[in-house]
Amino acid sequence: MTERVKNLFSDSSRRPLLSIFYTAGYPELDSTAPIFQILEKSGVDFVELGIPFSDPIADGPVIQQSSAIALDNGMNVAKVIAQVREIRESCEMPIFLMGYLNPALQYGFERFLDDISEAGADGVILPDLPLLDYERKYREEFEKRNLSNVFLITPQTPEERIRKLDELSTGFLYVVSSPSITGSKLQMNQQRDEYLSRVQGYNLKNPLIVGFGISDRESFLAVTQYTAGAIIGTAFIRLLEEHGIDERKIEEYIFSVKGVEA
């Protein structure tokens, strides 16, 4: 784990933590750093930066579309890394790169880890990286570079597997709110509360961060009763879709989720 990630999760006064997901290279190729700076200034706690992929099977239409546009803009792994380097000249917020396995494999997986770590990323979330491959092939490579690897769990994941995924994750554990792709509406129901409080009760090694379907203060508060924080993705991309990089709108939105007076 990097110092940035250790500090983020050890400071309990900051909780609940708010993380924003957005796609690198969207809406414009060079939007990544300016958006990051606004998010940091608005009080976001950490960022998941999406590396776009042509066939994102865990994503709904909004994130798919942002990936397609980013790819049309010419985004690729090398450019994401260069943008992370640029961001690190002025910003300290932790960055988890989120994407699918194939672009990283084609870049060369160890070279990918070297370069993202050198540029100043803190970890990765690769939903289609199998637990077994991580354990057998990559775990040491991550540890050598102090990089976090974050696994996902879902309401259908059995307890034993949750414990295994927790053991292999560093930084945090990504708790998917419901069986759905990104961009589905959060189900406000007892079943979801039971799931989150069950996982809370496992006393896992990693802090829990909930994602999928969080869009506003109400859904943010609903899930962070049980967890260290939450991730907003689709709702933020929608905001960019509607208003472009509008500093005031972004700040207003972040404040409203965090419950901060403007």
The contacts of residue 190 (CB under 8 Å, 6+ apart) are: none
Q: Which residue has the tokens 């957005």?
A: 22
Catalytic residue status for 59: yes
57 in contact with another protein (CB under 8 A): yes
Tokens of 13: 């006064």
Instruction: Write out the two tokens for 18.
Output: 């708010």
Q: How many residues bind another protein (CB under 8 A)?
A: 41
The rounded distance, in Å, linking the Cα atoms of 139 and 129 is: 12
Q: Cβ contacts of residue 183 below 8 Å, gap of 6+?
A: 59, 60, 61, 62, 63, 213, 233, 234
Among the listed residues 179, 191, 217, 248, the single contact to another protein using CB under 8 A: 179
Pure H helices in 43-138:
61-72, 77-87, 101-107, 109-119, 131-133
User: Applying CB under 8 A, does 176 fall inside the site for another protein?
Assistant: yes
Interatomic CA distance for residues 47 and 187, integer angstroms: 24
Q: How far is the CB of 88 from another protein (least distance, A)?
A: 23
- Catalytic residue flag (residue 246): no
Task: State in angstroms the smallest separation of the CB of 22 from another protein.
Answer: 19
Q: Is 68 in the site for another protein (CB under 8 A)?
A: yes
189 binds another protein (CB under 8 A): no
Rule CB under 8 A: choose which of 27, 40, 43, 101 binds another protein.
101
Closest to another protein by CB, 8 or 97: 97
Residue 82 sits in the site that holds another protein (CB under 8 A): no
Task: Tell me the two tokens of residue 206.
Answer: 């990693």
Q: Which residues bind another protein (CB under 8 A)?
A: 53-58, 60-61, 64, 68, 71, 76-77, 100-107, 127-130, 132-133, 151-154, 156-158, 161, 165, 176, 179-181, 184
Catalytic residue annotation:
48, 59
